[in-house]
Structure 1
Amino acid sequence: MIRARELTKRYGDKTAVDGLDFTVEPGMVTGFLGPNGAGKSTTMRMILGLDRPTSGTVTVNGHPYAESVAPLREVGALLEASAVHPGRTARAHLRWLAASNRIPAARVDEILEQVGLTDVAGKRAGKFSLGMRQRLGIASALIGDPPIVILDEPVNGLDSEGIRWVRRLCRELAAEGRTVFVSSHLMSEMALMADHLLVIGQGRILADDSMTDFMSGHAPSYVRLQTRDRVQARAALTAAGLDVVDVDGELRVSSRDAAAIGDLLFDAEVRVHELTAVQSSLEDAFMTLTADTVEYRAGTTAAPNRPEPSEPALAREGALR
């Protein structure tokens, strides 16, 4: 278990992490989300004792991680995959990690097999691809068979098979009762992997919810309706107490029950060309929640001979994403 209480970190007049209170529970995958500059890396570094909090506390299994007698047996972490001496082989790197924490040498070959690096165990890390370095970083995190696993962007550089493997690995670790804390910018993967979400923005907690509650609260579903009789359809749906919004010629109805809407429109003699239940994505929910906390925004450039979109048009475009 990881527990933070009033966790704060300042660099001069810059507050990177501002009074975080959270608990990462065992037996589930907790996703750690936030825009760039939100304080995710700083928070992870404080959990691991690499940065000292300005105030507040963070503990693993009831004590600061820096007090662990055998750190790799308690917490396994991947923060930077390139933090390996380029002249060392994968096997040599894992051997010295094992020796430093009194982990049996036999564990090295076992973990190399688990992460799929057995065939390149004698190759120097400096010759590894980004994906291979990620696998070696995950092997380093798992070498001590720890009850707590912290992974920062673990699928970075991996191919489709590797991404699926990391997803399955995290789920299996959680099923074994371990505490799994994962940060990633890939929302599609987080949606498939995480049971619980911790979302921060500008150093503060924006959400600490189960995936189900987070999605229902920030990514409501709706029914998309295409019809030539929009005026009549809107009148019938509004009379039934439903909220209806017209977006680029289609109606969006605040309901999950497409069948009931179809029946209602049939009774109102409205011709329907499309009726589709739509569930917003985790990315939609994340963007909605963090819109006011994004620190770095890219500019937009209008295409030649094409006017820039108006604010209402931009709003509609954002709603469609």
Structure 2
Amino acid sequence: MIVARGLTKTYGPKVAVDGLSFTVEPGRVTGFLGPNGAGKSTTMRMMVGLDRPTAGTVTINGRSYADSAAPLRTVGALLEARALHPGRSARNHLRWLAASNGIPVRRVDEVLDLVGLTDVADQRVGRFSLGMGQRLGIAVALLGDPPVVVLDEPVNGLDPEGIRWVRTLARELASQGRTVLVSSHLMSEMALTADHLIVVGRGRMLADCSMAQFIADHAASYVRVRAPRTAEVEALLRSRGLDVDRQGSELRVQGLDSAGIGDLLGGAGLHLHELSLVRSSLEDAFMTLTADSVEYSAHPVAQEAQAAR
């Protein structure tokens, strides 16, 4: 279990993490989300003692990470996959880490096989692709068979097979009763992986809840309606007190399900070209919640061009 209480980190006048309090519980995958500059990486670095909090505390299974006699047996972390000596082989990189934490050398071959690097285990890691480096970083995180696993952008550089493998791995680790925290910018993948979400923006807590609750609270589903007589359909739906948002020839309707809308329009003799339920997504909910917390916001090219005229 990871417990943060009032966790704060400042760099001069800049507040990177601002009083975060949360608990990452075992037995489920917790997604750690936020825009660039939200403080996610800084928070994870404080978890494993790479940054010292300005205020507050963070403990792993009731103890500070720095108090662990064998850190890799306590927390497995992937924070900087390329933070390794380029001249070492993957096998030797893992061997010295194992030796420093009292981990049996046989575990090295086990994790190399687990992450799919057995065939390149004796190659210098400086020649590894980004995806191979990520796999080695995950091997390091799993080397001590730790009860707590923290992964920062673990699918970065991986192909579709590798992304699916990481997803399956995270869920398998959680099913074993481990504490699993995963940070990612891939909303579609996080929606398939995480059970619970912690969302931060500008260093502050924005949400700490289940995936289902997060989506329900911050993005609404709607019924998409397309019809040849759009104006008449819109007028009828509005006359029944429904919330109708017109987007070109498409109507987005809330307040009544697809069957009810179909019956209503059919009874009025209005034909339909499309009637479909559009379910809200994690990406929709995330963009809605973090809209005011984006540190680097780009402008649409069309608007830029128009402004330049």
Query: Alignment RMSD, CA only?
Result: 1.7
Structure 1 unaligned spans of 5+? 309-321
Distance, in Å, in 2 between the alignment partners of 1:157 and 1:245 is 39
Q: What is the DSSP-based 3-state SS (H/G/I as helix, E as strand, rest coil) of the residue aligned with 1:21?
A: strand
Structure 2 unaligned spans of 5+? none
Q: What's the CA shift for 1:255? A: 4.6
Distance, in Å, in 1 between the alignment partners of 2:261 and 2:47 is 50
Structure 1 stretch 82-91 or stretch 135-144: which is displaced more?
82-91
Distance, in Å, in 2 between the alignment partners of 1:282 and 1:300 is 22
Distance, in Å, in 2 between the alignment partners of 1:135 and 1:284 is 30
- The residue that corresponds to 2:204 in the other structure is 204
Q: What is the DSSP-based 3-state SS (H/G/I as helix, E as strand, rest coil) of the residue aligned with 2:292?
A: coil
- The residue that corresponds to 2:134 in the other structure is 134
- The residue that corresponds to 2:168 in the other structure is 168
Same amino acid, percent of matched pairs: 69
Distance, in Å, in 2 between the alignment partners of 1:298 and 1:239 is 39
8 Å Cα contact 2:30/2:196 also seen in 1: yes
8 Å Cα contact 1:223/1:255 also seen in 2: no
8 Å Cα contact 1:221/1:256 also seen in 2: no
Structure 1 stretch 231-240 or stretch 76-85: which is displaced more?
231-240
Q: What's the CA shift for 1:220? A: 1.1
Distance, in Å, in 2 between the alignment partners of 1:255 and 1:162 is 41
- The amino acid of 1:178's aligned partner reads R
- The residue that corresponds to 2:29 in the other structure is 29
- The residue that corresponds to 1:100 in the other structure is 100
Q: How many residues align?
A: 308
Q: Deviations over 1:6-51 (max 9, x none)?
A: 1111111111100101111111111111111110111001111111
Q: Scaled by the length of structure 1, what TM-score is found? A: 0.92
Q: What is the DSSP-based 3-state SS (H/G/I as helix, E as strand, rest coil) of the residue aligned with 2:85?
A: coil
- The residue that corresponds to 1:177 in the other structure is 177
- The residue that corresponds to 2:12 in the other structure is 12
Mark the CA change 1:214 to 1:121 in structure 2 (over 3 Å): closer, same or farther. Answer: same
- The residue that corresponds to 2:66 in the other structure is 66
Distance, in Å, in 1 between the alignment partners of 2:192 and 2:73 is 28
Distance, in Å, in 2 between the alignment partners of 1:307 and 1:265 is 40
8 Å Cα contact 2:151/2:181 also seen in 1: yes
Q: What is the DSSP-based 3-state SS (H/G/I as helix, E as strand, rest coil) of the residue aligned with 1:3?
A: strand
8 Å Cα contact 1:221/1:255 also seen in 2: no
> In the TM superposition, what are the counterparts of 1:23-62 in structure 2 within 5 Å?
23-62=23-62
Q: What's the CA shift for 1:101? A: 1.0
Q: What is the DSSP-based 3-state SS (H/G/I as helix, E as strand, rest coil) of the residue aligned with 1:246?
A: strand
1:287 correspondence with 2:291? no
8 Å Cα contact 1:256/1:277 also seen in 2: no
- The residue that corresponds to 2:270 in the other structure is 270
- The residue that corresponds to 1:219 in the other structure is 219
Distance, in Å, in 1 between the alignment partners of 2:303 and 2:209 is 41
- The amino acid of 1:183's aligned partner reads S
Q: Scaled by the length of structure 2, what TM-score is found? A: 0.95
Q: What's the CA shift for 1:256? A: 6.9
8 Å Cα contact 1:4/1:20 also seen in 2: yes
Q: What's the CA shift for 1:239? A: 4.0
Distance, in Å, in 2 between the alignment partners of 1:6 and 1:292 is 22
Q: What is the DSSP-based 3-state SS (H/G/I as helix, E as strand, rest coil) of the residue aligned with 1:63?
A: coil
Distance, in Å, in 2 between the alignment partners of 1:218 and 1:242 is 20
8 Å Cα contact 1:2/1:60 also seen in 2: yes
Q: What's the CA shift for 1:63? A: 1.2
8 Å Cα contact 1:45/1:51 also seen in 2: yes
